[in-house]
Amino acid sequence: MSPMTSSNTANTSGPAPSQGRTNGRRKSAVQPLAWRLVFENFGMKVIALLVALGFYASMHTTSNAQRTVQVPLIADMPPRGGTRALISDIPQTISVTVEGPRQQLDDLETRLDPIPLDLRGALDDVVTLVPGMIAGLPQSLRVTRIIPESLAIHWENVMERQLEVQVPIAGQLAQGLELRVEVSVSPKHINARGPESVVKSIQLARAEAFEIGGLGEGRYTRSLLLAAPPAKVSFDVPNIEATIEVARKLVTRELIAKVQVIGLARGRAEPAVVRVLVSGTPERMATLRQDSILARVDPKAQGIDPTKPGTALMPVIVDVAEATATSDPPQVVVRW
């Protein structure tokens, strides 16, 4: 074989070193990204994971922590309608601080078993709250604090008292109108029942306001709610009925009238004249004349025997059409 042939054979027996390095870089470039994320610096990543797992385990298994939860109270009260009333405020829950392994606290429900209070005896007492009352705790947990530490229980005799009902008026009537009479209330009184000291301090039962704005002439009846009584007190009815009467505003005039004695020819009245107050609408008062007013006394209606002389005190009667009238004085002395 010639030297030329040997040289060619050596050149074709394998790749050149530079060409092999180039192929290696190509293979590295095509490796998946996920593969590199997992296996690059693999040792350091394993060490970091082990440290994190150890820290988590130490925090959730061996170390202690505290947690405050709300525990409900359930009071067993005397039968309703008794003669004693509880005047103390019993909280719905108490605050309980618990200490123990963190894992146990993480699994602890925020509301434990309720604490029962036996108040059926209706006696004054002081209830001390102790850890033994907290039911449902795992043995690895302990109670470190209870707020409040005790409850003061106070009772009072129950009393029932009658209260007057008051109905306020709200709004304004149109010009020329007025309330003819005071508000009529049914019932006029209600019964309040509760602790003696509280019931004695109540002055009256107040209803919601009767709104009169926009009302015209007429009679109106409404059902009105009573304002809520003080705490621990109850009313025997929740609402009342109130009635008002709206009418034209009246005008009053004062006139002088001579008193006539009916049925007695020789009868005379002392005083002989009286003041007459007449109330009516403005239109009626504008047409009222002095000579239309008649003031009289009626001896026969009083059972007087006109055949025998005598003296008697008799009421004065005044009649005015479409108006009301009163006499001042309302009575006179009649002699015959």
Span 261-288, pLDDT tens digits: 988 878 899 999 999 999 988 888 888 8
Fold matches, 63-153 and 159-248:
yes
User: How does residue 4 score in pLDDT terms, banded at 50, 70 and 90?
Assistant: very low
Q: From CA 302, how far away is CA 300, in angstroms rounded?
A: 5
- β-strands 294-297, 251-261 pairing: parallel
Q: From CA 20, how far away is CA 14, in angstroms rounded?
A: 10
Domain 251-335 in CATH 1.10.490.10: no
63-153: which CATH topology? RNA Polymerase Alpha Subunit; Chain A, domain 2 (2.170.120)
What is the per-residue pLDDT across 235-247, written as a single tens digit (0 to 9) for each?
A: 999 999 999 999 9
54 pLDDT above the threshold of 50: yes
pLDDT of residue 15: 47
Tokens of 138: 């795992």
User: How does residue 98 score in pLDDT terms, banded at 50, 70 and 90?
Assistant: very high
In the chain, where the domains are located: 63-153, 159-248, 251-335
Taking residues 132-142, what's their average pLDDT? 88
Query: Which amino acid, residue 50?
Result: L
What is the per-residue pLDDT across 183-239, written as a single tens digit (0 to 9) for each?
A: 999 999 999 999 999 999 999 999 999 999 999 999 999 999 999 999 999 999 999
Class of domain 159-248: mainly beta
What is the per-residue pLDDT across 285-327, written as a single tens digit (0 to 9) for each?
A: 888 888 888 899 998 888 888 778 888 999 999 988 888 899 9
pLDDT of residue 9: 41
59 pLDDT above the threshold of 90: no
CA distances from 12 to 1, 8, 138 (A): 16, 6, 81
DSSP state of 226: B
34 pLDDT above the threshold of 70: no
Asked if 206 and 230 touch (Cβ cutoff 8 Å), the reply is no
Per-position DSSP letters for 285-303, written without gaps between them: HHT--GGG-EEEE-TGGGT
Q: From CA 89, how far away is CA 81, in angstroms rounded?
A: 19
